[in-house]
Amino acid sequence: MTVFAAVVLFISAVFNVVTWPRFFQRVAKDSRARDAAGKPTTFYTVHFVLLLIALVIAAAAVVAGILLLV
């Protein structure tokens, strides 16, 4: 059961690391990401924070998975 939990955590981490940066690339190219002066909008900032949170969760999942296997 421990190995299964570790595998699920690793899969979750890979999903976050692969999916969120690709999604953020699309967000950054979206017309709502910048205002007329070229400054980042709330739309951009919120998605950037979500990206950071997802990557932190991915790192925590990897650490937890490794600790489960040790």
pLDDT tens by residue, the chain, 70 residues: 899 999 999 999 999 999 999 999 999 999 999 999 999 999 999 999 999 999 999 999 999 999 999 9
Per the structure, the complete domain to which residue 63 belongs is given by 2-69
State the pTM of this model: 0.88
Report the domain count for the chain. Answer: 1
Q: From CA 22, how far away is CA 52, in angstroms rounded?
A: 13
